[in-house]
Amino acid sequence: MNISLGVWDVFAYTVPGSLYLSLGIFVATKLAWIKPSALIHGPTVLLVIGALVISDILGHATSPLAHASELLIPGRPRSKAARQEFVGRTPAAANRPYVQADRALLRAAIEVNEKESALEQARIGAIWHMMRNCSVALALGSVTYIVCAITGSSTITAVVSVCSGSCSSS
């Protein structure tokens, strides 16, 4: 059996999913639904594999939420505006056919002719999706930690977690 994960899977889905998993464990610990010590005493390999699988599933499941939040951001350049900006900065390219070509067609041409550039585009795209998908998890985490700081439950941990953007379950 061959299991392979690409750059896209790891960056765009598993990393954001791990933030949701960490937030879920934090909230479940605060509400006394689980005890972290019970998780630690299990087989480590199974715990790591389970965390990775759950993170990937959570990343895929919450991706539409991140996409919906992205549509709410004002001022994000759309395809037409980006093309107009490109032509404004590069007037000599205004009459070139690639300026009006479909993005998918341009990407396919790059994949055929420039494999290194295509790999770089895929890497950058995966990182962009990772950042987009992490934004909602980090926003929810910040709200959660602010609530913890206000209610007084582990105030120092909550404030430090909000300031650093990291998840903590202590």
Low-confidence ranges of the chain (pLDDT < 70): 1-5, 7, 74-79, 153-170
The pLDDT value recorded for residue 54 is 92
The pLDDT tens digits of the residues spanning 10-60 come to: 778 888 999 999 888 888 887 778 887 777 777 888 888 888 899 989 998
The pLDDT value recorded for residue 148 is 78
Look up residue 121 and give its amino acid.
Answer: Q
The pLDDT value recorded for residue 170 is 42
Q: Where are the domains of the chain?
A: 7-164
Tell me if 59 sits within 8 A of 15, measured CB to CB: yes
The 3-state DSSP composition of the chain as helix, strand, coil percent (nearest 5) reads: 80, 0, 20
State the Cα–Cα distance between residues 139 and 148, nearest whole angstrom. Answer: 14
Give the sign of the dihedral formed by CA 151, CA 154, CA 156, CA 162: negative
